Chains A and B, each alone.
Chain A
């Protein structure tokens, strides 16, 4: 029983991260109909920038909480600038090009970012310093630490904030209007390019936060950490129904749970033939299953169908 609860906790933590990253994919898809395959690298850059900030601040004897907040702030701003730049350089010039073209530049941007990160931060695995007290709490035989509690809480707050922004503000209305019909939105005085830039920047800020969550949870960062995480978050977005915000949140949490429970029980179920190192298989099995059985995802069509 305690294994079940433990795996559910682990799944929720991992799922929170997937959900935040999946939102970035789904927002961009909702507005541009484009998969931003460089999004996983933005997560990595967020974690790496946070690492550098902690190293710079290490000599000042600041409280860990302050260091964490400064890292969050700086990493978010760097990633927002990065997201803006990616859209300006790699996607905007191809706005009216065939759909394959921006897909290829996305992969190109991804490769460039990975290699830049390798040049800047090196090929080594870096230890990410513990910034929250690592005191485990035991609930009904399962362990959850403060970092994990913080991850779930921050994810819930950010997702609620995003939903409010999208559904309750002038900016959010403009974003949904552009997603539904850019030409008509322009007739209402909406600046399409500004809305698209802001969408990329919001997604990138969420990605930066997710990157720091991963770094804090595992204590390790690496220039390659973004690619597999990005693919899994993309899977989560597809699972929930790409283009649908609530779908990305649901898909992220579900994928985290599926992975975690799958990894926890695969050993027992296969008589020890497979081990928990097969964890990654579940995510991609889910991706294939969704694409075959329900390509529109759990929550159906994308929010906005172009007229």
Chain B
């Protein structure tokens, strides 16, 4: 299959069932390099299932997806991370008993290689790599705007900082696509505004962003294009203005028939 060179992620007729429940059916969409792409839809629409497929936590039943011109239809999580897809979670999943700094350093695991031999002998290359990892981790902490001491355990960070730490950990894997599952959930207006600034900075840094969000104002104000899922089907796709006025979207959100 040929696709335009600026397509980073292409989903073709993706389907996933859990027993009798159809979580996703026939979802086709593509995400271009450098855009912020939003995914919205009512609860249970299949948004998180889609994320789990993209990151290898689930395998899709039908269809296929390509990323950066390679097919990754049935790939374990670490291969997809290697390919350049990183994500955060709707319910925060940090390594709670490791420090903020260490959480980011684990994120660097993929891009470093010192094994048991280096750990035991601590030869020059291993120490240099460790120093780089540490330096990069400090940079990312600053980049996402975490101000508390770097050695604070992740579980003791404030809620907003935990969300930022998850983003920093995902960035540490040097992704091409950053997939964020409801990053603004539970945030107040100020926190949401600074999150928006952070995501714009990340995109300006050359990373494509895929965003699931319930905060419709944030999505429509931030994204270049938006897709709407309902009951596992894509019911609309377009620029924010088109989505705002799409009768199918209004029906899905408000219930009943749009008049």
Contact = CB atoms under 8 A, between A and B. Distances in A.
Interface of A: 165, 169-174, 176-177, 180-181, 183-191, 198, 303-305, 307
A176 B55 contact: no
B95 A187 contact: no
B133 A184 contact: no
27 contacts: A165-B120, A169-B114, A169-B118, A169-B130, A170-B109, A170-B119, A171-B115, A172-B119, A173-B98, A176-B97, A176-B98, A177-B95, A180-B95, A180-B98, A183-B77, A186-B81, A187-B56, A187-B77, A187-B78, A187-B86, A188-B173, A189-B173, A190-B78, A190-B109, A191-B78, A305-B97, A307-B96
Contacts of B25: none
A171 B109 CA distance: 9
Interface stretch (B28-36, B41-49, B100-108): B100-108
A10 to B, nearest CB: 32
A188 B116 contact: no
A191 B78 CA distance: 7
B110 interface: yes
Contacts of A181: 93, 95
B169 interface: yes
Contact of B93 (A191, A303, A304, A307): A307
B37 to A, nearest CB: 20
B225 to A, nearest CB: 26
B78 A189 contact: yes
A305 B98 CA distance: 11
B247 interface: no
Interface residues of B, number: 34
B167 to A, nearest CB: 14
Nearest to A187: B77
Report the 10 A-B pairs with minimum CB-CB distance, sorted nearest first.
A189-B110, A169-B119, A171-B119, A186-B77, A180-B95, A177-B106, A189-B78, A189-B81, A187-B77, A170-B114
B114 A304 contact: no
Residue from B96, B112, B116, B129 whose CB has the most chain A CB atoms within 10 Å: B116
Contacts of B97: 176, 180, 303-305
A177 B98 contact: yes
A307 B89 CA distance: 13
A170 B133 contact: yes
Contacts of B82: 189
Contact of A186 (B78, B98, B111, B114): B78
B102 A173 contact: yes
A185 B106 CA distance: 8
Contacts of A170: 105, 109, 112, 114, 118-119, 129-130, 133
Contacts of B57: 183, 187
A188 B98 contact: no
B110 to A, nearest CB: 3
Nearest to A161: B120
Contacts of B77: 183, 186-187
B164 interface: no
Given A169-B114, A172-B119, A188 B169 contact: yes
A188 B81 contact: yes
Contacts of A177: 95, 98, 106, 109
A188 B110 contact: yes
B233 interface: no
Given A183-B57, A188-B173, A189-B82, A173 B106 contact: yes
A188 B107 contact: yes
Given A165-B119, A169-B114, A188 B93 contact: no
Contacts of B173: 188-189
A10 B236 CA distance: 76
Interface in B51-67: 55-57
Interface in B79-96: 81-82, 86-87, 93, 95-96
Contacts of A171: 114-116, 119
Nearest to B129: A170
A82 B95 CA distance: 31
A188 B109 CA distance: 6
A176 B97 CA distance: 9
Given A169-B114, A188-B110, A305 B119 contact: no
Interface string B148-185: 00000000000000000000010001000000000000
A39 B130 CA distance: 33
Nearest to A202: B116
A170 to B, nearest CB: 5
Contacts of B106: 173-174, 177, 185, 188, 190
Contacts of A307: 93, 96
